[in-house]
Amino acid sequence: MKGYPTTFLGLFDPPTSDRPAITQIEIPIIQRDYAQGRKDDEATLIRDRFLDALIAAARSDEGMGLDFIYGELRSGVLRPLDGQQRLTTLFLMHWYIASRAQTLDSNAAWLCFSYATRPTARSFTAALATHPYPGESQTPSEWITDQPWYLYPWRQDPTIASMLVILDAIHIRFAGRDDEFTAIWQRLERRPTESSPGAIWFLFLPVEDMEYGEDLYIKMNSRGKPLTPFEVFKADVETIIKEADPARYRHLAESIDGAWTDVLWSYEKLYGGDKTVDDEFMRYLTFIVEICEWRDGAPERRWRDKDSRQLLPLEERARLALADPGNGYAERNRDFFFHAFDTWVGTDPAEVFNGLFAVGKTRNDSLPLFSSTSDLLGACLTRYGSEFSAQETLLLFAVLLARQAGETLTTGDVQRRLRSLRNITAAFLDRDRYMSDYVASTERLILQGVFDGMAGFRDYWVTDESLKWRWMDQHPEVIPAIHELEDNLLMRGRIQAIDLQPEMLSTRARAFDEVSERTLRDLFGATLLTKGDYSRDVKWGGKVRQLGSSQKDDSWMDLLTTGKREDLAFIRDPLMALLDDYSARRSSGSAEGKETLDAIRSEWLAERESRSYFDWRYYLSRYEGARSSVGDGYFHNKTYDQTLGGFSYRHLRILYGGSYVSRFSDALLRAAWVEGGLRDVVEEPNWFREDDPGLRLKGSAVEIHCMEDGFRVDVPHERPDVSATVRSVLDQFAATGDGLVPVQQSFNGIRQVDSEDRIQLCVRLVRMLVAD
């Protein structure tokens, strides 16, 4: 579809080329009421800015472009499908200026402007054509509504009411300028030339196929109605670029309503939104402006002042980023602004991103992302500012940088650097404090391929990325294994917990992929305990420890990825031992993963049982009820001491949150509750803010407390009737006078260790108490 640059008056000129002739403009029924004169705050703000720009252009030689205006053209009648609001404002402004310049000719072609939406609006515009405003002391609205030709029904027409507001607003802006109207009208009469498009110009697109026109109406109006924040921002950006980079202004004016809209419209159709791309434009533009701010290293430009900490309007932030004379990076930012849109023109962005990234495991060269989509552009257009993560922001920026660098980067360079960026950003990023550092480090990594000076990111992750690069350069045969480990959901790019021995790496990677599968998560944690105490010191002087949760990935990520490589021996040594044992059994024809893990665990448990050695690792490995299934895998034990073998028996608590403010359980009592199937007769050992809770029998309220050397049975004061029964049971367990049922123990040279299974003892005790 061919476009013709023209002005409002020029629309009605006899065509000198292949442009069809226009004899009348009629706003069609499908259009809404004229809305630029509404009196709400948003409309007032947008109207003021639009009129200021129009009148500034009319009073100077700078000119102003209004983008595309198009519509169906039949028998000389133009029915606008896009641009009715702008055309109506231009009609009113031309009528006002022609009236004041005393050049209003009722026979002028441009006065053939009417509305099909309402008969009242149609008759009103016809009346204006024959009644010039004399410019007396009355405002236009006062003068018009006081005329005998002003009809009473017109008072109820919202379009006419809006027109009157616009005329008054125009009148206010020309106050005291009576001597300028002739010169202004002469400027408006100038037609576009190759050197000058006109004072106020636009590109006219005639549509002769109505079915195509209706489809185009939906698409082109995906830019949104004029009374939107995007329209205001778009006009401001055009002004900003025109002043700062005139050579690119025409490209911007043509692209923002053309090729750029096409790119965003493809996503609007895909996601089935509101049939506009205003929101998509604003989200992407916000992304671009914020990237420029972070890249400049001057994020304070985002704020109005340091005291109020209020955001400046986006258009002002765009001016500071793209055109501020004091910003030495403005030209670079303009390059990035244009590139961020132009790079997707003529492409399928989703296809590009799906070639770079994938969601979940992949067997091709695509880099798995730990998010819901691989199409970062689509995610930015729909979620930026709300649920678009800092990692996604940096990865999208990185892709744009790589595309802007072009052939200076090889495909291998881009893939390797994007992978490392994914790895070091796959964790909490402090967007408010360090985003400028993150952006600078991202640019350094993508364009230069170096890790030196990577500010913002955790040093030990960056150091490990550098180590992996050197390792892969020295041992290229391990690259697939390293990538397999990095792509695991529990590692998320950070493999400090894996020994990088090249001869073992491939088998360990395969083994880890199998044993870390979600359905095996609980068994994996239980079996890992057979290779050692892999608990992580979380807080409280080492008294709160973390083990892997069967339900929560985060607990495993904490264990496997938090800290320097040299600090992760506590889990690396047991993990490597388990993976090697697992691999050896699988290579010798062992059964599938679950059976292999079960065999490792069962053999270890049997060995402990054969020598009557029941420490905390035995109990947590054997009994599911003693392990953490919810929360972050936190355990608390007041007397945990690694030199004495780790956890003791008393007050070994599963924390469902991070402390006793959340709910918690006694791990060993809960093991007995689950193992014995005691739900019907015993309350679940799950408490909240209690100092020393016990296992409470539902019928008698008798409580059983786990002690270091046995179980203490307490009879509540209000139940003296059960004391004799309880005493008779305790006698059968050789209990002491204070109700302690002892557990057989032996000294291992360091501390007392159970030599009988206290969980089974507790189950027998409960059943006898309930039975009696």
415-442: pLDDT as tens digits? 999 999 999 999 889 988 899 999 999 9
What pLDDT is attached to residue 212? 43
Q: Is the Cβ–Cβ distance between 415 and 394 less than 8 Å?
A: no
pLDDT(223) > 80: no
Instruction: Write the single-letter amino acid at 497.
Output: A
Least confident of 358-367, 466-475, 522-531, 763-772: 358-367
pLDDT band at 220 (very low <50, low <70, confident <90, very high): very low
What pLDDT is attached to residue 652? 96
pLDDT band at 176 (very low <50, low <70, confident <90, very high): confident
pLDDT(615) > 70: yes
The Cα 650–Cα 666 span in angstroms is 9
Q: Is the Cβ–Cβ distance between 734 and 744 less than 8 Å?
A: no
The Cα 727–Cα 737 span in angstroms is 9
What pLDDT is attached to residue 272? 64
Mean pLDDT of the chain: 89
pLDDT band at 373 (very low <50, low <70, confident <90, very high): very high
Can you give the C-alpha Rg of the chain in angstroms? 38
What pLDDT is attached to residue 225? 44
What average pLDDT does range 27-50 have in this prediction?
75
- Give me 351's structure tokens: 């296809």
The Cα 541–Cα 563 span in angstroms is 17
Q: Residue 600 forms beta bridges with which residues?
A: none
Least confident of 216-225, 324-333, 400-409, 620-629: 216-225
Least confident of 50-54, 244-248, 319-323: 50-54
What average pLDDT does range 375-402 have in this prediction?
96
- Give me 59's structure tokens: 């009073």
pLDDT(208) > 90: no
pLDDT band at 273 (very low <50, low <70, confident <90, very high): low
What pLDDT is attached to residue 65? 81
What average pLDDT does range 451-463 have in this prediction?
91
pLDDT(342) > 70: yes
Other CB atoms within a 10 A radius of the CB of residue 395 amount to 24
Other CB atoms within a 10 A radius of the CB of residue 573 amount to 15
What average pLDDT does range 482-491 have in this prediction?
95
What is the tens place of the pLDDT at every residue in 293-307?
999 987 666 655 555
- Count CA within 13 A, CB hemisphere, residue 46: 23
What pLDDT is attached to residue 310? 67
pLDDT(226) > 50: no
What pLDDT is attached to residue 82? 76
- Write out the H or E segment, with its range, that includes residue 688: strand 687-688
What average pLDDT does range 216-220 have in this prediction?
46
The Cα 202–Cα 223 span in angstroms is 16
The Cα 332–Cα 742 span in angstroms is 77
Task: Give the whole-number percent of the chain exceeding pLDDT 90.
Answer: 65
Q: What region does 19 belong to: left with phi over 0, alpha with psi -120 to 50, or beta?
A: beta
pLDDT(731) > 70: yes
The Cα 640–Cα 642 span in angstroms is 7
Instruction: Write the single-letter amino acid at 569.
Output: A
Question: Where are the alpha helices (H) located in 532-623, listed in sequence order?
Answer: 553-561, 569-587, 593-610, 616-622
Other CB atoms within a 10 A radius of the CB of residue 701 amount to 14
What average pLDDT does range 482-495 have in this prediction?
95
- Terminus-to-terminus CA distance in the chain, angstroms? 93
3-state SS class at 151: coil
Of residues 558 and 313, more confidence is placed in: 558
What pLDDT is attached to residue 299? 63
pLDDT(205) > 50: yes
What average pLDDT does range 347-376 have in this prediction?
89
**How far is C-alpha 521 from the chain's CA centre?**
28
pLDDT(363) > 70: no
pLDDT(11) > 60: yes
pLDDT band at 20 (very low <50, low <70, confident <90, very high): confident
State pTM to two decimals. 0.73
Q: Is the Cβ–Cβ distance between 66 and 206 less than 8 Å?
A: no
DSSP 273-288: -SS--HHHHHHHHHHH
What average pLDDT does range 269-277 have in this prediction?
71
What pLDDT is attached to residue 371? 87
